[in-house]
Amino acid sequence: MSQPKGTAIVTGASQGIGRAIALRLADDGFDIALNDITIKMVQLDAVARDIVAKGRRAVVVIADVSVEDEVREMIDTTVRVLGGVDVMIANAGIFTFGSVLDADVEKFDVTYSVNVRGTLLCYKYAARKMIEQGRGGRIIGASSVVGKRGVKDYIAYSSSKFAVRGLTQAAALELGHHGITVNCYAPGPIQTEMLRSLKEQRERWTVERGYDPSSIQQVHNAVGYEGTPDDIASIVSYLASKEAHFITGQSISADGGICLT
């Protein structure tokens, strides 16, 4: 086994975009700490086997990213087993539906606890460890196209992904002098199980409230097709590299041309 390029933590790594990122970073030469919640253990173990087959080390670290003690332990375990933290990918997130008029406060709070507090905690404890190590690092979060342009009926999810951009910009300004860059990726529609479920749930949510399903706002991009998890993983691969040292505080769109900013 060759010397690793470093160690990367990927949250929400059991499937979809998180899985693709973990596998791509393993191909790039990183040892990988794979995180998700307990019910995803079987999927995580499968990803770990795939990474080991690539000649890299992998460790599964179960944690709820919204719980501070669990995030702290996730970082400590990664350092103990793999020797450090060089890249943090705060990918874990959840989505909920709801308009301004119908917003469910409990669901709103749960969405923010994972998407915003979870991202903050990953940034916080990864940055502390990177500063302690003294060799810089890369911190990368998950925003969304709806974190750049609001979409009706996504009041909690959309606003939480706007918040990730704010966290990323503020953290980039604070951590740059430590050699740590902080960026996030903002995907559009990506072919994942989450997207399929999202479409089904949104149509069901619309019908339950007596709305015409045809009223669902469709998002059309310039290229005319959905992306894949590997499309996002390739962007993360570059942001995690040494070559990306001069890019920080950015929210990189990968949406086929939906948000042209």
Could you say which DSSP state residue 149 is in? S
3-state DSSP assignment of residue 177: helix
Number of domains in the chain: 1
Within-domain flag for 261: no
The residue from 125, 129, 161, 185 that is catalytic is 161
Q: What is the pLDDT of residue 102?
A: 84
Say how many C-beta atoms besides its own lie within 10 A of residue 260's C-beta.
9
Q: What are the backbone dihedrals phi and psi of residue 36, each rounded to the nearest 5 degrees, phi first? A: -170, -175
pLDDT on residue 151:
84
Residue 172, in any domain of the structure: yes
| Domain containing residue 92 | 6-254
Q: What is the pLDDT of residue 259?
A: 82
Mean pLDDT taken over the chain? 91
Residue 259 inside a domain? The answer is no
pLDDT per residue over 173-190, tens digit each? 999 999 999 999 999 888
Q: What is the pLDDT of residues 46-77, one digit of tens each?
A: 999 999 999 999 999 999 999 999 999 999 99
Confirm whether 40 is a catalytic residue: no
Per the model's pLDDT, the better-predicted residue between 4 and 251 turns out to be 251
Q: According to the model, what pLDDT value does residue 176 have? A: 98
Rounded Cα gap, residues 142 and 155, in angstroms: 17
The reply to whether 242 belongs to the active site is no
208 has a pLDDT exceeding 80 = no
Which pLDDT value is given to residue 218? 56
Q: What gap in Å lies between CA 15 and CA 190, rounded to an integer?
A: 13
**What string of DSSP letters covers 38-79?**
GGGHHHHHHHHHHHHHTT--EEEEE--TTSHHHHHHHHHHHH
In a domain, 47, yes or no: yes
Higher pLDDT, 196 or 145: 145
In a domain, residue 18? The reply is yes
Choose, from 123, 125, 157, 185, the residue flagged as catalytic. Answer: 157
* Residue 260 forms part of a structural domain: no
What pLDDT score does 230 carry? 95
What pLDDT is stored for residue 207 in this prediction? 57
Tell me, yes or no, whether 163 lies in a domain: yes
What CATH code is carried by the domain that includes residue 154? 3.40.50.720
Res 118 pLDDT > 90: yes
